[in-house]
Amino acid sequence: MNKVLKLGFVLIFCITFLTPNITWAVSPTLITFPEKIQRGDPVMITVVGLTKISEVKEITFDGIHVPVFLYSPEGKQASNGAGKKVTAFIGVDLRKKPGNYNLKVKLTNGQTLEKVITVLEREKVEEPLGIPEKLGGNTTASQNNLIAVLATENSTLNNLYTGKKAFWTESFHFPLSQIFVTDPYGYSRETGAYTIPHKGTDFRASEGTPVMAMNRGVVRIARTGISYGKTIVVDHGLGLQTFYLHLSKIKVNVGELVLPGQIIGLSGQTGYTDAPHLHLSIRLNGVSIDPMKFMEFFK
Ligand SMILES: [Zn+2]
């Protein structure tokens, strides 16, 4: 090895190991997950290189404000030494036009981080779905009635109050101890002249199966609806809410704080359904996203 090269190695060694007081200024970067984003998907944003929420002035996606929180990933990611990360969740609406949208992160130091998010089409699946006899059967009158009932019930479930901070710190868990998807999120159900998008995931659950809160949160809805049946909504704060539909029993009250894994009700077949199952919806700032994709965040 020539002398110059040797001197070089010595210098690198000295800089690397003998100068502990030097901290290298790393400029923050944006990481988004998943890599491919379809209509109806949730997106996880991490601002790497920041440790405090106060360092972020505002995050916007397609011009709309997105709440920011600190999250410490558990398991594999945590064992890599990762601490609290500045995080945000975006919900891409099922009806959002495929194309490119701007994600902007304005920092308090004046810097702006930007990334283009490409929203892809979601495979369209349409299936006929009849109206159960208990709700009037397959007549035009009961179809019109169902649409009117859904509109009323949706208006009760839209714009629910959400806490100003995240109530949760742990990973989210599925609401049933055994998971088997019977109907995925995002396909369209043809009911007479109407097409009703399925904005949630249906899981197999025989009548009376314990349904657990997916994480810590406050109960905002505990009521019986005509089409959604016995319904619970848990608010996890900052616009993140989980919806549990068609239950046979509700075991919580509005305003109650629930803990991760707490049994909040029993599954059933109340409302617009003819077989027992659990319908789960997850909303991010009012946008219903694919629950199975959301759960990918916590693997
Ligand atoms: Zn469903």
pLDDT in tens, 60-92: 999 999 999 999 876 444 444 457 899 999 999
Alpha carbon of 273 to ligand 1 centroid (Å) = 8
- For the segment 272-284, the average pLDDT, to the nearest whole number, is 94
Q: How confident is the model at residue 24 (pLDDT cuts 50, 70, 90)?
A: low
- For the segment 278-296, the average pLDDT, to the nearest whole number, is 97
Q: How confident is the model at residue 40 (pLDDT cuts 50, 70, 90)?
A: very high
- The pLDDT assigned to 265 comes to 98
Alpha carbon of 166 to ligand 1 centroid (Å) = 26
Residues carrying CATH 2.60.40.1590, the chain: 26-120
Question: CB neighbours of 265 closer than 8 A, spacing ≥ 6?
Answer: 211, 230, 232, 244, 247, 248, 249, 250, 251, 252
Would you say the C-alpha torsion 77, 91, 282, 120 has a positive or negative sign?
Answer: negative
- The pLDDT assigned to 38 comes to 97
Alpha carbon of 66 to ligand 1 centroid (Å) = 27
Alpha carbon of 228 to ligand 1 centroid (Å) = 9
- The pLDDT assigned to 80 comes to 47
- The pLDDT assigned to 25 comes to 59
Alpha carbon of 201 to ligand 1 centroid (Å) = 6
Alpha carbon of 136 to ligand 1 centroid (Å) = 19
Alpha carbon of 293 to ligand 1 centroid (Å) = 16
- The pLDDT assigned to 115 comes to 97
Q: According to the per-residue pLDDT averaged within each range, which of 38-52, 62-76, 120-134 is highest?
A: 38-52
Q: How far apart are alpha carbons 260 and 96 in whole angstroms?
A: 32
Average pLDDT across the chain, whole number: 88
From the list 176, 205, 201, the residue with the least C-alpha distance to 280 is 201
Alpha carbon of 78 to ligand 1 centroid (Å) = 34
- For the segment 99-127, the average pLDDT, to the nearest whole number, is 92
- The pLDDT assigned to 2 comes to 60
From the list 275, 216, 268, the residue with the least C-alpha distance to 244 is 268
Would you say the C-alpha torsion 134, 137, 139, 145 has a positive or negative sign?
Answer: positive
Q: How confident is the model at residue 184 (pLDDT cuts 50, 70, 90)?
A: very high
What separation in angstroms does the CA of 93 have from each of 54, 113, 159? 28, 23, 15
Alpha carbon of 197 to ligand 1 centroid (Å) = 10
Alpha carbon of 183 to ligand 1 centroid (Å) = 7
| pLDDT greater than 60 at residue 7 | no
Domain 26-120 maps to which CATH number in 2.60.40.1590, 4.10.490.10, 1.10.1740.10, 3.40.50.300?
Answer: 2.60.40.1590
Alpha carbon of 200 to ligand 1 centroid (Å) = 6
From the list 281, 299, 205, the residue with the least C-alpha distance to 40 is 281
Alpha carbon of 40 to ligand 1 centroid (Å) = 15
Q: What pairing do the DSSP bridges indicate for beta strands 188-191 and 126-128?
A: parallel
The model's pTM is 0.86
Tell me the Ramachandran region of residue 263: left when phi exceeds 0, alpha when psi lies from -120 to 50, beta otherwise: beta
| pLDDT greater than 90 at residue 23 | no
pLDDT (tens digit, 9 = 90+) per residue, 197-220?
A: 899 999 999 999 999 999 999 999
Alpha carbon of 131 to ligand 1 centroid (Å) = 14
Considering the chain, what percentage of its residues have pLDDT values greater than 70?
88
- The residues facing 268 across adjacent strands are 277
Residues carrying CATH 2.70.70.10, the chain: 126-298
Domain 126-298 maps to which CATH number in 3.90.1300.10, 2.40.128.520, 3.10.105.10, 2.70.70.10?
Answer: 2.70.70.10
| pLDDT greater than 60 at residue 241 | yes
Alpha carbon of 47 to ligand 1 centroid (Å) = 34
Q: How far apart are alpha carbons 121 and 108 in whole angstroms?
A: 35
Alpha carbon of 64 to ligand 1 centroid (Å) = 28
